Amino acid sequence: EPEVTQTPSHQVTQMGQEVILRCVPISNHLYFYWYRQILGQKVEFLVSFYNNEISEKSEIFDDQFSVERPDGSNFTLKIRSTKLEDSAMYFCASSVTGGADTQYFGPGTRLTVL
């Protein structure tokens, strides 16, 4: 069964460094999402992406964040200058259509900012 994959599974970085988290959505999906979950807290929506542009973003998704679909398969989240509070699990998801269609989540990347 097709699944969303994410790399790396764990990323450790120093405060102020840039990180790129990678996701490979399910191949026939058109909508892509990033979510964040700080340890012990709820899953928070960051951004949705469709047709090579951001369709919606939350207040968390500030200028430090950017997303890109650099080729036909990858979907990336870049954090330009990481802060301690960026430490969290980051989940990618994809869906065939947008709206309230079923989203399929990847296993997540644990980001630790030191």
94 binds other proteins (CB under 8 A): no
C-beta closer to other proteins: residue 16 or 38: 38
Q: Which listed residue (19, 21, 48, 88) binds other proteins by CB under 8 A?
A: 48
Longest dimension (CA), the chain: 38
DSSP state of 83: -
Give the residue among 72, 75, 107 at the shortest CA–CA distance from 91.
107
91 binds other proteins (CB under 8 A): yes
Q: Which listed residue (8, 10, 18, 56) binds other proteins by CB under 8 A?
A: 56
93 binds other proteins (CB under 8 A): yes
